[in-house]
Amino acid sequence: MQKNDLKPQITSIINGDEEAVKKMQAICDLLQDKLPTYNWVGFYMAHETEPRLHLWCQAGEPTDHVVIPFGKGICGQVAVSNQNFVVDDVKAQDNYIACSIYVKSEVVIPLFKDGKNIGQIDIDSNTVAAFDESDERFLEWVNEQVATIL
């Protein structure tokens, strides 16, 4: 399935009656189920007063990394830089937090609300160099949709 083919389903989830976290979980489940290189999908959201991220929802193997300090790992770096981060080979990253021995690449896209970085979508893949610019654009769009419900 192509990423853009999922947009109507994501729009339907966003427009549903469930609370925001349930919609975000449904998006995680959809992406992890329909995109073969998206082996783990999660939303980390920034704490309101402390410099750390909290895992709100995820699809894929459970992780022990439910709280990540700003600056630590790829997610923590995105919380500070406010920039997309694509990692083709996680073994080449010094500041990588290993969630699974199977993860080979990762993409993290910040989620902005009213110009403020309030969280991010994090995707892990068991394939080296699984992500490209089309993933970045698609996940930016996903985050724009999610921002409307937060």
Give domain limits for the chain.
Answer: 3-147
* Bridge partners, residue 32, by sequence: none
* pLDDT value, residue 92: 77
What 3-state class would DSSP assign to 133? helix
Per-residue pLDDT of 98-132, as tens digits, reads 667 788 999 999 999 999 999 999 999 999 999 99
pLDDT digits (tens, 9 = 90+) for 48-99: 899 999 999 999 999 999 999 999 999 999 999 999 999 998 887 776 676 6
pTM over 0.75: yes
Q: What is the CATH number of domain 3-147?
A: 3.30.450.40
Q: pLDDT by residue (tens digit) across 24-49?
A: 999 999 999 999 999 999 999 999 89
